[in-house]
Amino acid sequence: MKKKYILPLLFLALSAGKTFAQNDAAKGFAFAEKQTDLLLKETAEAKKIAKPGMVSPRSVEKGELVLIPSKDWCSGFFPGELWYLYQYTKNPKWLKEAKAYTANIEQEKTNGGTHDMGFKIYCSVGNGYKLTKDPHYKEVILEAAKTLATRFNPTVGCIKSWDNRKDWKFPVIIDNMMNLELLFEASKLSGDSSFYKIAVSHANTTMKNHFRDDYSSFHVIDYDPETGKVLHKQTHQGYADGSAWARGQAWGLYGYTMCYRETKNKIYLKQAENIAKFIFNNPNLPKDLVPYWDFNDPAIPKVPRDASAAAVIASALYELSMYSANGKQYKGWANTIVKNLTDNYQAKPGESKGFILLHSTGNKPANGEIDAPISYADYYYLEALLRQKGLFKY
């Protein structure tokens, strides 16, 4: 990395960090409350004409609110947002809504056909348990972890991501790092070390096979379930197999930071630091630190941004700053991202059906959710605000 990239980014991060610290997270949460009031109303109206079983808002498509069933990997994010609003405001209104929307997701605890148990259960029920210590939520977390553990193959050393995919035998995606937190929590709650061992095995195998020499990540590694041999390395949702899909890099940064918190194994801390180095030393990272959807799209800068990736990165950096000697720099970068998301990527008040952030990219190769509001962008944005204020419960 040439110094001409490092110095301007560091200056921007530190100066913006001071500004944002002065403005406080109040601005972001005040806007989020108003938008979420609208989203609740829009969701209630949309449910009147939607198919049965639609439980959470996910995005906006062609001006219409997109609702999803509990089995969708994004179903837990909106309940999680409600828990974050309650955590910040202590307003019982948000507690009531959080409980109601979380109840709609709990049935997923026995859905063994997906690896997305962490996204669905931990972002909803997990946050609820942190704030209420409701023993029922504890039971749901443990049942969900048992279900997720059934997807672990000890020969491969990983949890299988997708079923019924003709192109892959045992696909493992970088996103799956985010589901390990559920297993770590279940190990602590139950005293059963098998959950911990599965999470560590998955993290180690992913670190070995998903990452390139520059610490960028492939999206999908396909394994032979009989031998554990790597069959293919692909970037399914990115520009090309050899490219760095932005949200994939964000998942890796967040995942290994979390793994260090749970294990105190410095190899995970170093991995997170190296992923951060790849992201912030990349000449294609824009000055506002909100990445393009893929760092290697040759059409940059005329390509979509991904505010969701930026929100995940910011949240991860706040935690990483607590553990690393580079903490001041990481927090400065996170402050810059959050300030720019707050100032330049928010929806107009009372618009976008009540979503908070615009300009996320879901799955560009499939032409899905491009330059759109998406629930997980809002979720990790609010999480980043809590972490910036030191209010987040780890």
Q: Into how many domains does the chain fold?
A: 1
**pLDDT value of residue 167:** 87
Token reading at 234 = 């692909």
Q: According to the model, what pLDDT value does residue 217 have?
A: 98
Catalytic residue, candidates 175, 222, 288, 297: 175
- Does any domain span residue 130? no
Q: Please give the full DSSP string across 39-72, using - where no structure is assigned.
A: HHHHHHHHHHHSPTTEEEEEEEETTEEEEEETTS
3-state secondary structure (DSSP) of residue 269: helix
Average pLDDT over residues 208-217: 98
Closest CA to 381 of 153, 169, 81: 81
CATH number of the domain encompassing residue 365: 1.50.10.10
129 occurs within a structural domain: no
- Is residue 175 flagged as an active site residue? yes
Told to judge if 116 belongs to the known catalytic residues of this protein, a careful annotator would answer yes
Average pLDDT value for the chain: 94
Instruction: Say which residue, 30 or 167, is predicted with more confidence.
Output: 30
Q: Residue 23: its pLDDT value, please? A: 64
- Percentages helix, strand, coil for the chain (3-state, rounded to 5) are 55, 10, 30
The crossing angle, in degrees rounded to 10, of helices 246-263 and 266-280 is: 160
Report CA-CA distances (Å) from 101 to 14, 48, 81: 38, 16, 10
Measured between alpha carbons, how far is 391 from 297 in angstroms, rounded to an integer?
A: 37
Domain that holds residue 26: 1-52+276-394
User: Does the residue 162 lie in any domain?
Assistant: no
Q: Is pLDDT of 109 > 60?
A: yes
Question: What pLDDT, on the 0 to 100 scale, is given for residue 195?
Answer: 98
Looking at residue 8, what is its pLDDT?
45
What pLDDT is attached to residue 6?
44
Distance between alpha carbon 91 and the CA centroid of its chain, in Å?
Answer: 25
- Report pLDDT digits (tens) over 162-173: 998 888 999 999
Q: Under a CB-based contact definition with an 8 Å cutoff, are residues 147 and 117 in contact?
A: yes
From 24, 37, 116, 214, the catalytic residue: 116
pLDDT category of residue 391 using cuts at 50, 70 and 90: confident
Q: Is the pLDDT of residue 159 over 80?
A: yes
- Whether the per-residue pLDDT at 67 is higher than 60: the answer is yes
Per-residue pLDDT reduced to its tens digit, 307-351: 999 999 999 999 999 999 999 999 999 999 999 999 999 999 999
In sequence order, what DSSP letters do the residues of 316-340 get, joined into one string?
HHHHHTTTSTTHHHHHHHHHHHHHH
Q: What is the pLDDT of residues 187-210, one digit of tens each?
A: 999 999 999 999 999 999 999 999
pLDDT digits (tens, 9 = 90+) for 221-265: 999 999 999 999 999 999 999 999 999 999 999 999 999 999 999
> Residues 121-138: what's their mean pLDDT?
98
Question: Is residue 3 a part of any domain in this protein?
Answer: yes
Number of C-alpha atoms within 13 angstroms, CB side, residue 394?
15
Judge whether 364 lies within some domain.
yes
pLDDT at 2 over 80: no
Judged against a pLDDT cut of 90, whether residue 154 lies above it is answered with: yes
Question: Does a structural domain hold residue 375?
Answer: yes
> What pLDDT was estimated at residue 16?
47
- Reported as a pLDDT band with limits 50, 70 and 90, residue 78 is very high
Residue 287 lies in a domain: yes
Residue at 295 is within a domain: yes
Instruction: Give the span between the Cα atoms of 26 and 362, in whole angstroms.
Output: 28
